[in-house]
Amino acid sequence: MRILLLCSAFNGLSQRAWTTLRARGHHVTVHVVHDPDTIPGAAAAARPDLIVCPFLRHRVPDAVWRAHRTIIIHPGPPGDRGPSSLDWAIMDGERRWGVTALQATGDLDAGPVWASRTFAMPAEPPRKSTLYNGEVADAAVDLIAEVVTKAGDPGFAPRDHDRAGIVGRSRPPVRQPDRCFSWDDETGHILRRIRAADGRPGVHTMLAGVPVAVFDAHPGTVTPGEPGTIAARRHGAVLVRTGDGAVWVGHARRLSPGPSVKLPATQVLGRALAGVPEVLEPLETDQPSGPREIAYRRQDDVGLLRFDFYNGTMSTAQCRRLTAALRYAAAQDTRVLVLAGGEVFANGIHLGAIEAHPNPAAETWRNITAINDLCREIITCTGQVVVSALAGGAGAGGVMLALGADVVLARDGIVLNPHYETMGLYGSEYWTYVLPRRVGEAQSRLLTSRCEPVSAGEAAALGMVDEVLPADRQRFPGAVLERAAELAAGSDALLQRKRADREADEQRRPLETYRVRELAEMSHDIFEDRHGFAAARRAFLHPAAPAPAARRPALLTGG
């Protein structure tokens, strides 16, 4: 079947839809819609049997949906209408939510229903981005597969909206006044407000007298004090007192004229935090007092190093801290070391921290050097079997970081983007060593030049991933530890072969030469901006500004 995907961004859901449909043998074209006037032309060029809109902010023109069956994937249960479904669901504390496949008509979100799914909302208020990339994306991909099957059935007829088991209702767009809270409010209320606006647009408030939009909120504990005052800071986050406790705020964006970027809260507040104590915890602790970016624990012969950086990006300081933690973990007497990322495994360097730096080029160089140091520690760790555990997707340098391990385990349903060119970078992280040794030189060139997402299943078939584990998010950590324990039982032979392979590789070509060559190329991209890295970076951080056309594929086909 010829399928056209219309989306406002080729994001995680859109990429999962593309890879899933291609794997089923369909010819799939993606059109990223920055201007709705381009939709008719895209439909005419694709000549689709079916149009699916997994993430589309614009209305599909009447001429298009009248000529082609067009299905809207709406992130709400039947009857729910409006552009802020997930925001309202989180703020209202809904216990169940859903996703609905609707046929496009003249009435927004009110066309005939092709299928729907419901799911239980997490007990603790989720971040909007977490909910979207988790339960919503899982349900949406399942729905899209059902829609395509039904589209091939001449006897199928969708249900009229009025007979589709309505459980939702029409709701207006969420505005900042709807999101507002007072620091005197209870912690749960504040968490719902902030998380419903994460990762965009955040909630406007005041911190230390500075007007900001806040993100990345977690419950905390603190001694009593005036609500809204900052009690402590830790690795970029600040602990803010509430009416009945405290909230850790990890990231903020200064509300000032002109564009500003989302950064760690301590960096945004700067001198306003003078006198606020920094409260740190050891790498290993049984009773963490708040969110932790990096933590280590051991279970028999397996060491588990967990890192969970916001949106999967790693600043220079975060890379250095994770490198130090990795050295600590590698020095323990365990047999297997598991590197477990968070919601996103890793996406490489921190573009926001780079953009905010007075000298972005110099900071880019420091950042890429720091992440290279981390990757080198992974590659050269010959005392333990190193396992990368990808519960979430990865992109660019984050993919290459994972591939430096001996064994790569991926959760079914994640998507990898093993390329750099869309950001105008040659790339580093020893990718010219770790990628070819797994997939070969020819496939490496294809993966890094086509700039296409790769599903976990495709990655396994190519050799990038060693094993794909079941998609259940709750069971994945246990499955990883079970597999790690099996590796530990046979680690003697694995480590002997690993040392021999590393020594042979070093004899053929020293590892450092890969880094030197990559950084030589990167120096042109960073300091001479030969491929538009600065413009691509700004367009990524400020989506209202379109990316340079030469670096942004608007049409992607495959089948």
Residue pLDDT, tens place only, 430-445? 999 999 999 999 999 9
Do residues 417 and 399 lie in contact, with contact meaning Cβ atoms separated by under 8 Å? Answer: yes
Residue 185, classed as helix, strand or coil, is coil
Write out the residue limits of the CATH 3.90.226.10 domain(s) in the chain.
294-474+491-528
CATH T-level assignment (fold) for domain 294-474+491-528: 2-enoyl-CoA Hydratase; Chain A, domain 1 (3.90.226)
- pTM for the predicted model, two decimal places: 0.93
Beta bridge partners of 53: 72
Directed axis angle between helix 316-330 and helix 360-379, to 10°?
A: 10
Residue-by-residue DSSP string for 508-530: HS-HHHHHHHHHHHHHHHHHS-T
Report how far residue 540's alpha carbon sits from residue 532's, in angstroms, rounded to the nearest whole number: 12
CA-based nearest residue to 336, from 285, 381, 390: 381
Place of tokens 């239980």: 120
Q: pLDDT per residue over 242-258, tens digit each?
A: 999 999 999 999 998 76
CA–CA distances in Å: residue 278 to residues 48, 144, 235, 290: 57, 48, 8, 13
**Percent with pLDDT over 90 in the chain:** 87
Structure tokens at 394: 């990865």
Write out the residue limits of the CATH 3.40.50.170 domain(s) in the chain.
2-163
Q: pLDDT per residue over 68-77, tens digit each?
A: 999 999 999 9
Q: What are phi and psi for residue 379, nearest 5 degrees?
A: -65, -40
Do residues 345 and 397 lie in contact, with contact meaning Cβ atoms separated by under 8 Å? Answer: no
Q: pLDDT per residue over 167-219, tens digit each?
A: 667 889 999 999 999 999 999 999 999 999 998 899 999 999 999 999 999 99
Residue 157, classed as helix, strand or coil, is coil
Do residues 13 and 132 lie in contact, with contact meaning Cβ atoms separated by under 8 Å? Answer: yes
Write out the residue limits of the CATH 3.10.25.10 domain(s) in the chain.
176-273
Structure tokens at 301: 């012969």
Q: pLDDT per residue over 486-529, tens digit each?
A: 999 999 999 999 999 999 999 999 999 999 999 999 999 999 99
Alpha helices in 260-301 (DSSP H): 265-269
CATH architecture of 176-273: Roll (3.10)
Do residues 168 and 79 lie in contact, with contact meaning Cβ atoms separated by under 8 Å? Answer: yes
Report how far residue 342's alpha carbon sits from residue 305's, in angstroms, rounded to the nearest whole number: 11
- The correct answer on CATH 2.40.37.10 for the domain covering 2-163 is no
H helix or E strand, kind and range, residue 119: strand 113-120
CA-based nearest residue to 40, from 9, 18, 65: 65
Share the mean pLDDT of the chain.
93
User: CA 87, 91, 97, 103: dihedral to nearest 10 degrees?
Assistant: -30
Structure confidence at residue 236 (pLDDT): 94
Whether the ω angle into residue 413 lies within 30 degrees of 0, i.e. cis, is no
Do residues 256 and 200 lie in contact, with contact meaning Cβ atoms separated by under 8 Å? Answer: no
Classify strands 230-234 and 210-220 as parallel, antiparallel or unpaired.
unpaired
User: Cα–chain-centroid distance for residue 214?
Assistant: 19
